[in-house]
Chains A and B, each alone.
Chain A
């Protein structure tokens, strides 16, 4: 992978991987439920980026880009639902700290 040459597929993939990694890290490590959702967004967006990159450099048609838009829509819907769940969580537990939400604990 020549990262110093012209912008190619590798660059896109690297960015997407980085974003995904960061996103996963955020999901795993954040205590705040909303922050976790942000991480989820990151991961989804990285997936979209991945799709777009492959669409431009490999497949050379718009299929990937269309799917990326689908991903965005799904991300949005999922964010709405997730926020509803977090709201319910807050209503019940008076806190959105995930490390305190251990009612499912055995």
Chain B
């Protein structure tokens, strides 16, 4: 086992151990054991960073993929359509980057919770759940087998359920947890169907084997698209894409550290990670041969869904008054961005956006938690002018906002967004059709809206005059346990895109160099067949992009940069004018024209939830009624019938027992009594009777003795 594997397994199992101890003994430990998972997470973070720095950053192309697996169960032989199942880990650049993201954010959230969750009655259990979640997420990142990924996927969903519904006494919280789990379950159904199809066609669920089967053209075109779409359903649920996005805003019922960890940085990113990992599967055999994946229908669907979700969610975020809801819809929107990037053909762009987004979204959520902690309210209507009272929070939140809005150069968000948009525009240029331009159009519009609503959020929360004087008076900066993570994340938000002095310069190049196709996929040693039909030897890098796509990419660079910067500045500037300018303290939404008309629709979230509850949920409820009636009448009826029969039988047995058995006993008794009564009558107490008896007996004896015939008779009788 290579040292990386060792390290990875330690990173994986430490949180599990922490969970086990915490859940069983947490409450008895000093300080309720919050130091235990936090400490474990610190160690994991250090190990991940060590792996990252020594393996990924150290060399220009990062690390060689390290795989370890053990076969578990095999049916038939892999060539003849059999199936084998093995478990193992795969550590490569991509996995290591994910490890860093998960452990760093998790550790900071653990630290933050010491302040935020202080005094909660179930404090120790919170930490136990956090540890379990981290274990699940880490497992998801390092596994080399799709089935185990699914297992960890489900486990992550379960942890999300626990954590969203942590304050389960509140009905809205437990409802939200249920909604989250059930909605993602719908997606997971597609995921599982895809797994079965893959198992049948590829004969294995190992990534390498799956990719090999794609490269070997084992998949007939239509089936690949179908399996790809089904597989994508999982991320649609987990990463809250339209139409399964409905659970994420409701998930804000959970404590803010939970929102930061799970619903900003990690769990929702699992969907994106899956799509990136399984990229060759979605892209089709063209990925290995020509490198031009723009022909893949599955990828285009992913891009469209992602782009649409991004725009859709951004419009809703415009009219939210709850700060966490703004961030929630923003997350949905940004996840759409990531999907857009991957779907447009660059999984590097999508993953890079995931990387930067993790930092600044976690930062924003924790910052909002800080504000909520100070003001004891989540409504922006109660806020305003807080930068005076909470400088650290205000500054870090500003950094997060600028990063999210895509403020140029300095902030990492700009670089990742640019990568995504460039790829989207390149796709549009390459394919040349209006349809292909749609993802880009969605993307660029979203960029503008993002800047606008984040600006609005910032202005309403921190600038201007306080709207609720009472709350304002009580507001204060948060304890160090909460502000330190904010500072760390702010640094990450800026530098996640590299520093000017570093080897690969600023921007996404450092990321791209280490995760591009040649490194991530070709190094797995997939045998491919080029157009000439002869298999190429292992590890030989194939053509990077087809020249057409490459060309388009070059052409797309400049317009994208210009437009994205324009959108960012325009959006933020406009928001300042609208909300901080003449219309200070007015209605949080703004009174201007078209927004008012749409406001109703937007505030009702496009009625998506309403539609769902009227149709699908109503149908399920109807089925529930049917089953309930069945249960009540048929099942319970049978049970009651059985009970009735038992009673009747018992009755009969009882009667028999009473009549026959007891009767016999009673009869014996009464017989004896009556015999006694009769016999007693002899004792009349009257002397003449006694005399008679004795005389009579005497005479009888005389007769017996004297008359031999009588003796004979008597002897014969007896």
Which positions in A face B, CB cutoff 8 Å? 24, 27-31, 33, 36, 98-99, 101-106
Contact = CB atoms under 8 A, between A and B. Distances in A.
A31 B686 CA distance: 10
Given A27-B695, A36-B691, 16 more contacts: A27-B691, A28-B691, A28-B695, A29-B688, A30-B688, A31-B688, A98-B687, A98-B688, A99-B686, A101-B686, A101-B687, A102-B684, A102-B685, A105-B684, A106-B683, A106-B685
Contacts of B685: 101-106
A105 B686 CA distance: 7
The 6 closest A-B pairs by CB, nearest first: A105-B685, A102-B685, A104-B685, A28-B692, A106-B683, A98-B687
Interface of B: 680, 683-688, 691-692, 695
A30 B684 CA distance: 16
Given A27-B691, A27-B695, A98 B680 contact: no
Nearest to B693: A28
Contacts of A106: 680, 683, 685
Nearest to B685: A105
19 contacts: A24-B695, A27-B688, A27-B691, A28-B691, A28-B692, A28-B695, A30-B688, A31-B688, A98-B686, A99-B686, A99-B688, A101-B685, A102-B684, A104-B683, A105-B683, A105-B684, A105-B685, A105-B686, A106-B680
Contacts of A103: 685
A99 B692 CA distance: 13
Contacts of A24: 695
By secondary structure, the B interface counts as helix
Q: Which of the listed residues A30, A98, A102, A106 has the most CB atoms from chain B within 10 Å of its own CB? A: A106
A88 to B, nearest CB: 14
Q: Which of the listed residues A24, A31, A36 has the most CB atoms from chain B within 10 Å of its own CB? A: A24
Q: Which of the listed residues B680, B684, B686, B692 has the most CB atoms from chain A within 10 Å of its own CB? A: B686
Nearest to B680: A106
A103 B683 CA distance: 10
A104 B687 CA distance: 9
Nearest to A89: B687
Contacts of B687: 33, 36, 98, 101
Contacts of A102: 684-686
A36 B680 contact: no
A102 B680 CA distance: 13
Contacts of A98: 686-688
Nearest to A33: B687
Contacts of B686: 98-99, 101-102, 105
B263 to A, nearest CB: 100
Contacts of B680: 106
A28 B695 CA distance: 8
A36 B688 contact: yes
Contacts of B695: 24, 27-28
A95 to B, nearest CB: 13
A95 B204 CA distance: 123
A82 B695 CA distance: 19
A52 B687 CA distance: 31
B144 to A, nearest CB: 104
B685 to A, nearest CB: 3
Nearest to B695: A24
A28 B688 contact: yes
